[in-house]
Structure 1
Amino acid sequence: MKLGRDEFQAWLDEVSPGTGSVRLAAVADLPRLRVKQQLARGNVAPATIAAISRGLDLDPLTQLARFEAFSDLVPSSPAVGEMPGFISSPGLFRASAERLENQPVTETQLGPESYDLAALYWFNLANDGALRARIADELGVNQPTLWKMLRTRLREDVALAVCEHAGWPGVSALVISEVLTGKEAGWVEECRATWANSVPVGQLLSCTEQRLQQVGKQERDRESFDRHLG
């Protein structure tokens, strides 16, 4: 998902007038070529806006919300139904073990909020069987492209469509797309641990079981591929 050059330039003229691409790259700690290419093509990535905002000591979410595509976004912690998607597989397994031992779960035990295949697990929590077709119809994203996004990085407009479909906070789309951190999105401190400690144990185990099945399938597929190569 890209933001238009005119909209970006109007924003930049207000927050940092007269700043050229070289200075922007330095402020945002981004490669010069990437910034120059985005400006030349008139397609600026939301992550670039967020990076520039950080470099200027501005709140990234507040600045992104000034763009039409993100104007409805407000700070929010994840919805209950999407919370497991922001917890790594080992973290989810540890949380279940701790709860079964009647021990409190800490935030650090849950692992990073961004991890490999987070987008896939998050998407699966929202998928009621109709989500893939909706994304294809509304955004023109075919199955192979979506498959790749879910295993690398989910495009912001696709993530926003997922949030709309599931009734989740729109700002979660920017966290799962790695544009914002949870803190920048307005997450309540240690909200993941609060969820892990308060959700009924049976529900936590159900979430963990689903994740374990997904991880198990991925590992079996990988091992089968490795054996085939061997």
Structure 2
Amino acid sequence: MSVSAIAFQHWVSQLAPGSSTADVCRQSGVKRSTLAQQLVRGKVAETTVVAVARAYGRNPVLGLAEFEPYTELAASLAPPTDAEVLSQTPTARLLREILVRAGSQSPPTPAGLVGEAAGVRQWVEAIDDGELRQRVSAAAGIAPQNYSAQLSANRLAPELAVRTAREAGVGLRNGLVVTGLVTAEEAGWPPSAVEDALSRLSDAELTLLAAERLAALGRGLKRQEHDDRADRRAWEHLG
């Protein structure tokens, strides 16, 4: 997904009057060759918009809101639900909370949503009412298997993430947070979101959530170990 190159150039002319493409690249850290290719194709990546917005002191969410199909982002101010926040909370943080409640560890210093890669699949599972994937596929005009393939890879294109949030009835900005395109702070998530969400979990709910995460982590590690062994056997056979 991307935004119009013509619209991007107009936006840059207002954001940084008099700046050349080279100036914008130096300021934002975007490679000149990358931006040049995007402009030639007529489509500029969202990551480029975010990088340029940050470089010139513009909130990247509001920067994206200047373009179709992201105009609704400006008015989407709904805070994240506890389920969304917890879907992005690192497993280690959940385990520390269990130890704190058991009296085995001092309370941790409040932290943001850091420590693990963005949990796109966990987020979708947290907001799915059982029919979300079908609604998103229909609204986006894509095959359900293509949508599922992105989720299996734990990723979503920004526009598809925003559409998912819209279909789920949650804040549109949240979709950009879980993809890692913008930070929770940039999207307006409260600094205490993690602590607040954890405080509303019962001991049983917290323990079950941590257990689910560890089980999923174990399955992933087991698959990785299996693949590593298969790779080693293949190399030994060839060598």
Question: What TM-score bracket applies, with the shorter chain setting the length?
Answer: 0.7 to 0.9
Aligned-pair identity (%): 25
Determine if contact 2:120/2:179 at 8 Å carries over to the other structure: yes
Determine if contact 1:4/1:44 at 8 Å carries over to the other structure: yes
How far apart in 1 are the matches of 2:138 and 2:113?
A: 35
Determine if contact 2:137/2:147 at 8 Å carries over to the other structure: no
The residue that corresponds to 1:123 in the other structure is: 124
Partner letter of residue 182 of structure 1? A
Determine if contact 1:135/1:161 at 8 Å carries over to the other structure: yes
Q: Please tell me whether residue 80 in structure 1 is matched to residue 106 in structure 2.
A: no
Partner letter of residue 187 of structure 2? A
Determine if contact 1:76/1:185 at 8 Å carries over to the other structure: no
Q: How does 1:128-139 map to 2 (within 5 A)?
A: 128-139=129-140
User: What is the aligned length?
Assistant: 228
Per the alignment, do residues 32 and 141 of structure 1 end up closer, same or farther by CA in structure 2, a change over 3 Å counting? farther
Determine if contact 1:160/1:170 at 8 Å carries over to the other structure: yes
User: Cα deviations across residues 25-47 of structure 1 (Å, max 9, x unaligned)?
Assistant: 11111222111111211111222
Q: Please tell me whether residue 205 in structure 1 is matched to residue 230 in structure 2.
A: no
User: Cα deviations across residues 73-124 of structure 1 (Å, max 9, x unaligned)?
Assistant: 234542112112211222222223323438645433x7617x3361122222
How far apart in 2 are the matches of 1:69 and 1:218?
A: 35
Determine if contact 1:24/1:35 at 8 Å carries over to the other structure: no
CA RMSD after TM alignment: 2.5
Q: How does 1:78-157 map to 2 (within 5 A)?
A: 78-101=80-103, 104-108=107-111, 112=114, 115-116=116-117, 118-139=119-140, 140-143=142-145, 146-148=148-150, 150-151=152-153, 153-157=155-159
The residue that corresponds to 1:39 in the other structure is: 39
Structure with bigger gyration radius: 2
How far apart in 1 are the matches of 2:152 and 2:214?
A: 18
Partner letter of residue 120 of structure 1? R
The residue that corresponds to 2:13 in the other structure is: 13
Determine if contact 2:119/2:154 at 8 Å carries over to the other structure: no
Per the alignment, do residues 141 and 178 of structure 1 end up closer, same or farther by CA in structure 2, a change over 3 Å counting? farther
- In structure 1, the gaps of 5 or more residues are none
Determine if contact 1:53/1:63 at 8 Å carries over to the other structure: yes
Determine if contact 1:105/1:196 at 8 Å carries over to the other structure: no
What TM-score do you get using the length of structure 2 for normalisation? 0.82
Partner letter of residue 168 of structure 1? V
1:184 to 171, 186, 189: 186
Q: State the Cα distance separating 1:135 from its structure 2 match.
A: 3.2
Per the alignment, do residues 226 and 143 of structure 1 end up closer, same or farther by CA in structure 2, a change over 3 Å counting? same
The residue that corresponds to 1:221 in the other structure is: 223
Q: State the Cα distance separating 1:184 from its structure 2 match.
A: 0.8
How far apart in 1 are the matches of 2:133 and 2:86?
A: 20
Determine if contact 1:117/1:151 at 8 Å carries over to the other structure: no
What TM-score do you get using the length of structure 1 for normalisation? 0.85
How far apart in 2 are the matches of 1:129 and 1:219?
A: 27
Q: State the Cα distance separating 1:52 from its structure 2 match.
A: 0.7
Per the alignment, do residues 26 and 75 of structure 1 end up closer, same or farther by CA in structure 2, a change over 3 Å counting? farther
Determine if contact 1:82/1:126 at 8 Å carries over to the other structure: yes
Q: Please tell me whether residue 174 in structure 1 is matched to residue 176 in structure 2.
A: yes
**3-state secondary structure, aligned to 1:184:** coil
The residue that corresponds to 1:59 in the other structure is: 59
